[in-house]
Structure 1
């Protein structure tokens, strides 16, 4: 247990405090995952085979979607321009957030974030509106991507650990997630200020190279593989200290995913011994708070990096939105 606690502390804090770890997160988590599996005695042939197979689906999805986005970027930009002129700006903003949120479960959160960046680069938004649009869309993408195991690493790891089918998460949290995605879209209508001028409608975003697409797919494979080792390695620790916690406590504890990747926390917390209500509370706590700060979710990291949004700018808007959403979901889950 002492060894696992030390590994857990390293996993929780080094990515947030050491730049070199933050920039090489996939390799770091892979090493920590192997260490956790070895320390806990969970490392065996079955786990190794599982870790090699689990990332394949999401990796292929990321690779294919990345190639399609590269090949169709010009067409996407033309479509964005056409739609932004046909629809009123506020309706276009709302539809973008809703469609990307729901589509992210199929095209992956990573590709949804890249499409979001293309859209925002085309639209003539002021700095404040650009930040608000990005944050609200990333909340939507982070939630929507969790509806299938190919959407994001968190959902991949969860379905794998629970040995469930493709539609398990849609059935488990779809009732909460889908309305939330729509609500984030409606928020965008009122909180993002449209610029009626179309003179600035152009994109300065450089298309990704094939090398960048392949490297990203390889990193995702390594990332999910490391999380598989990590999740199974931490099972003794979770069974000892987490399983017995009250549902409401688990929900609020998972606000820590605002500063840590929520897939890592899902890998350490989710267990087949948990009942459905506990899993739902754990997942929703992780998914909502994951949008509050840049490190909390992969779409946040991608969008903030490509749009040059600072941590302070993100937090100034993301934290209040996340806290309000956490309270609303708390009432929905535990009061009604």
Structure 2
């Protein structure tokens, strides 16, 4: 969605936020290996879950396609608002404002907020703010919703872990983006 709205290719985002995202995946992977202990009841989880059939997979794919199509329309509809109020804001402010992504879907916010008229520093701040805060709570993005449903994780359990980790990560990336860059 974002690359389409910016009229760029996949490698634009890889170059823009790839180092930050890849390093975060590696760090969180290592932390997960050492800190997260599986529940004893999760050993039989695979046998308890039913596999999705092709029909369910196609229906889910179609729903996601419709969702992305709606986001595209939403982004174009918000273009005048973005040009008037968002583009002039400082990247530091946009970074923290995007914590709203914890309660609203970050793809929706990206569609409504990103503009080709933004400079790369602003786009980086917006995207990283959305990505990081989108993991804090279940409604933050579609994979959170699917994961929580499949793994039977409650909103309270998710928030107990996600909010502190997300806030620390937001602070670390804020320092990296705006102090060291």
**Which residue of structure 1 aligns with residue 4 of structure 2?**
160
Q: CA deviation at 1:190?
A: 2.4
Distance in 1 between residues matched to 2:44 and 2:143, nearest whole Å: 25
**Which residue of structure 2 aligns with residue 318 of structure 1?**
162
Q: Secondary structure at 1:207's aligned position in 2?
A: coil
The 1:290–1:202 alpha-carbon spacing in structure 2 relative to 1, beyond 3 Å, is closer
Q: CA deviation at 1:200?
A: 5.1
**Which residue of structure 2 aligns with residue 253 of structure 1?**
97
Q: Which of 98, 106, 114 matches 1:270?
A: 114
Number of matched residues?
180
Q: Secondary structure at 1:335's aligned position in 2?
A: helix
Structure-1-length-normalised TM-score = 0.51
1:250-285 CA distance string (max 9 Å, x none): 000000000111000000110000000000000000
Residue 5 of structure 2 is aligned to residue 176 of structure 1: no
Residue 130 of structure 2 is aligned to residue 286 of structure 1: yes
Q: Secondary structure at 1:309's aligned position in 2?
A: coil
Structure-2-length-normalised TM-score = 0.94
Distance in 2 between residues matched to 1:195 and 1:221, nearest whole Å: 34
| Coordinate RMSD, CA, aligned | 1.9
**Which residue of structure 2 aligns with residue 203 of structure 1?**
47
1:286-322 CA distance string (max 9 Å, x none): 0000000000011110010111111111000000000
Q: Secondary structure at 2:48's aligned position in 1?
A: coil
The 1:238–1:201 alpha-carbon spacing in structure 2 relative to 1, beyond 3 Å, is closer
Residue 33 of structure 2 is aligned to residue 189 of structure 1: yes
**Which residue of structure 2 aligns with residue 236 of structure 1?**
80
1:4-40 CA distance string (max 9 Å, x none): xxxxxxxxxxxxxxxxxxxxxxxxxxxxxxxxxxxxx
Q: CA deviation at 1:230?
A: 0.3
Distance in 2 between residues matched to 1:323 and 1:195, nearest whole Å: 25
Q: Which of 215, 219, 223 matches 2:63?
A: 219
Q: CA deviation at 1:226?
A: 0.4
The structure with the larger Rg is 1
The 1:232–1:202 alpha-carbon spacing in structure 2 relative to 1, beyond 3 Å, is closer
The 1:166–1:201 alpha-carbon spacing in structure 2 relative to 1, beyond 3 Å, is closer
**Which residue of structure 1 aligns with residue 146 of structure 2?**
302
Q: Secondary structure at 2:115's aligned position in 1?
A: coil
Task: Show structure 2 runs of 5+ residues with no match.
Answer: none
Q: Secondary structure at 2:27's aligned position in 1?
A: helix
Q: Where do 4+ consecutive residues of structure 1 move more than 6 Å?
A: none
Task: Show structure 1 runs of 5+ residues with no match.
Answer: 1-156
Distance in 1 between residues matched to 2:44 and 2:86, nearest whole Å: 52
Q: CA deviation at 1:193?
A: 2.2
